[in-house]
Amino acid sequence: MARARNRIAGIISVLGELLITAGLVLGLFVVYSLWWTNVLADRAADQDGAQVRDHWADDAPGALDTRDGIGFLHVPAMGGGEVLVKRGTDPDVLNNGVAGYYTDPIKSALPQEEKGNFTLAAHRDGHGAKFHNIHKVRTGDAIVFESKNTWYVYKVYKTLPSTTKFNVDVLQPVPKESGKSVPGRYITLTTCTPMYTSDYRYIVWGELERTERVDGDRTPPAELR
């Protein structure tokens, strides 16, 4: 009996050690997913953003460069800071700490177009987590997009805290689910929800309020000061 008890105690001890090890591995994985990927993504985004601004400083004429980035998104309610915007919403784009504009299933309009919906996605957790605080955005808040020559100032008019990830209607040129029925100049932010999952999508809709020409000092609009 004593030998059997010792054997059981030994098995329990080994199992305990294995569980502790598994817990440590899981903890390290969480740290990697939610912290280290942010570090790497922010580093990549900073480099790419600096390159875009270097291109802007060059006055030579040229076509819009959609590969390196088309501009910067500023959402004060999400905590400030700028988010580089690139073409596409695939992981190889968004994992680099940027926001991407949709090319499918519904193609995004660009801010300079006279009508349409500028639709964007970014990660909420890990890989830069640029839309982590999207839940803090409220009706009436500003969303500002900065291009080389123009500030586009949008005002939030509707949020949708949760919808299925298959709901592509939120990306329509006229986002009727937001209450709009006529063409305009809209912006839509999308990300995963709840936090730390990808089961549903959180949506924020805004409408262009005005544009401002970028001056030589790149003085931001009042909403960003």
What tens digit of pLDDT does each residue of 79-132 get?
Answer: 978 999 999 999 999 999 999 999 999 999 999 999 999 999 999 999 999 999
Between 1.10.10.60, 3.50.50.60, 2.40.260.10, 3.40.50.2000, what CATH number should domain 54-224 receive?
Answer: 2.40.260.10
Q: How confident is the model at residue 78 (pLDDT cuts 50, 70, 90)?
A: very high
- Residue 15 vs residue 26, higher pLDDT: 15
Q: Does 53 have pLDDT greater than 70?
A: yes
Q: What is the DSSP string of 49-112?
A: HHHHHHHHH--S-----TTT-SEEEE-GGGTS-EEEEEE--SHHHHTTT-EEE--SSSPPP-TT
Q: Does 62 have pLDDT greater than 70?
A: no
Q: Which of 172, 169, 166 is nearest to 201 (CA)?
A: 166
Q: Catalytic: 143?
A: no
**pTM of the predicted model as reported, rounded to 2 decimal places:** 0.84
Question: What does the alpha-carbon distance between residue 156 and residue 136 come to, in Å, rounded to a whole number?
Answer: 12
pLDDT computed for residue 114 by the predictor: 96
pLDDT computed for residue 90 by the predictor: 96
pLDDT computed for residue 24 by the predictor: 43
One of 192, 201, 203, 207 is an active-site residue; which one? 192
- Percent of the chain whose pLDDT exceeds 70: 81
